[in-house]
Structure 1
């Protein structure tokens, strides 16, 4: 049964070229009808015009949640922060869909099966999201430090008692997720984000709020493998020249579905392993359908 689906993202001029990689990767590979929703966080007229090439529905959000900026100074919170405050309100900004998929602007789709499964999982009624856990991620072998950071983050937004109850779970990275329109977590997430921003205005407010409502309740959810949201800042992928795709760095080198250029991995070329070669190759990790068999683009 087909479901009406939209892939949503957000961007400003500074990251617009990177967000175009996501849009191209979707339009180059899409199977069936799928819409794109783009939250305009301050794009120039020229970049807004470019969005028409992808058939994107563009919305310029306001502040979906009222909060006091640090020191009461609005200049300390830029429009880019609306990417966080708007995420629980995607149904309001792009109404009328059965399934909502969010993909951060610095991520791109390498294999369409990732989108197919995100849609199917939402069709079954689940929130579908990947924990920041993989055998290749170094922090998984320094778990005490990772848990300490998570608990500290939860404590900033919700207090120490709450942090102790939910902060020992793996962080769910909301850079990629899908959820059906009728899921109860939309409203719970929005409410908890309001609570968080009254206590502390920080970059991880929306992610920690979502983690809180997921772990504090018993709502339909599916935790996905890391191939659905590969965090390049936590472990660089390898490249398989036989299929011209980025793959997980360890055997069996499974292809990645969505590659997320988290952290500084989007700002400069990276040195990556190429299967079958003894030397690394330096290359950008951006989407490039013409990437050659050596891994260089």
Structure 2
């Protein structure tokens, strides 16, 4: 029995991305000791047949917390915002659970080991949306010359999800934890607290982003343990990457140009890449040249 498992979810529209994620994992020999499980949020029978030959198990994702139909509007893929808080229920008997969004792929096995190592001793292992290469992480509205109203993702989502002003201010200036990739042990106390906060968020706010603000509140307000990993463990600033022609790999733009472990096409800025696997991006090499390169995983 394998102790650790990597899990993702997709509908039929995200199948290609999910399939690329699976292939990016399985090319590493170390993956032989790690299970891969898939949550089905609208995959076709043919798509499930392709995946079944590569992964350990596929299960239908459910609405584990009841959500009104007017919030769903047929978007079954939104189950990912709910079901990822219940992973041990879907796939029991594993020791460590690593979630990776379907629109990401694994470039280095080192980060897989970091996530599993980081979640030991009842910690959440996760990266943040703040990094030296990402630029602005907060927005400000300036008025009366030198006064500003700070706007943060955590504050906005906490308020729109029905949490109190006190809680919203507690999380407002904290590094935003990106729940697109995270690891937890099966017996971590985070699961129950996360589910409690998620129920509040889903009742008052939108489904999209509910699981993320619920986890940020779990860490920053309920004070559960966290191991914050470097941004290269969940890299979302796609235009900010560089390419190392000697090592033939994507790297951080600043010294020591560490290899990026997981490339994550999150956000509207990456729509073209998500929608077209053959999209050509302009990317700078570490010696200053500009090259054309496809950034989707190609086995």
Q: TM-score, normalised by structure 1?
A: 0.89
Match of 1:121 in 2: 118
Give the CA deviation at 1:3: 7.2
- 1:273 alignment counterpart: 284
Q: In the alignment, what sits opposite 2:81?
A: 84
Helix, strand or coil for the counterpart of 1:55?
Answer: coil
Q: What does residue 285 of structure 1 align with?
A: 295
Unaligned runs of 5+ in 2: 142-149
In the TM superposition, residue 147 of structure 1 has moved relative to its aligned partner by 4.2
Q: CA deviation at 1:202?
A: 3.6
User: Quick check: 1:156 aligned with 2:160?
Assistant: yes
CA deviation after TM superposition for structure 1 residue 123, in Å: 3.0
* 1:293 alignment partner in structure 2: none
Structure 1 residues 218 and 255, CA gap change in structure 2 (3 angstroms) = same
**Structure with the higher strand share, 1 or 2:** 2
Q: Write the deviation string for residues 195-253 of structure 1: whole angstroms up to 9, x where unpaired.
A: 111111241110000001110123221011101101135x5311111111100112221
Tell me, yes or no, if structure 1 residue 169 matches structure 2 residue 185: no
User: For the residues of structure 2 that align with 1:100 and 1:223, how far apart are their CA atoms?
Assistant: 16
The alpha-carbon distance between structure 1 residues 137 and 277, as it changes in their structure 2 partners (threshold 3 A), is closer
- Following superposition, the deviation at residue 63 of structure 1 comes to 0.7
Change in CA separation of 1:137 and 1:53 when aligned onto 2, cut-off 3 Å: same
Residue 204 (structure 1) aligned with residue 209 (structure 2): yes
**For 1:7 and 1:148, how far apart are their aligned partners in 2?**
31
Report what 2:265 is aligned to.
261
Structure-2 separation of matches of 1:184 and 1:221: 12
Deviates most, 241-250 or 268-277: 268-277
The answer as to whether partners of 1:3 and 1:123 remain within 8 angstroms in 2 is no
State the partner residue of 1:23.
22
Separation in structure 2 between the aligned mates of residue 217 and residue 138 of structure 1, nearest angstrom: 29
1:129-148 matched pairs, under 5 angstroms: 129-140=126-137, 142=138, 144=140, 147-148=151-152
Alignment partners' CA distance in 1, 2:105 and 2:60: 22
Task: Tell me how many residue pairs correspond in the alignment.
Answer: 282
Residue 286 of structure 1: how far off its partner (Å): 1.1
Distance 2:228 2:200 in 1: 25
The correspondence for 1:245, drawn from 249, 271, 275, is: 249
Specify whether residues 56 and 139 from structure 1 end up closer, same or farther in structure 2 by C-alpha distance, changes over 3 A only. Answer: farther
Q: Deviations over 1:60-80 (max 9, x none)?
A: 0221001224xx365x25101
Question: Is residue 250–residue 259 contact of structure 2 (8 Å, CA) maintained in 1?
Answer: yes
Provide Cα deviations, 1:94-129, integer angstroms capped at 9, x if missing partner: 111100000001111111111112112223332100
Following superposition, the deviation at residue 170 of structure 1 comes to: 1.2
Q: Does the CA-based 8 Å contact 2:122-2:225 persist in structure 1?
A: yes
C-alpha separation between the residues in 2 aligned to 1:77 and 1:251? 46
Structure 1, unaligned stretches of length 5 or more?
Answer: 290-297
Q: Distance in 1 between matches of 2:227 and 2:47?
A: 36
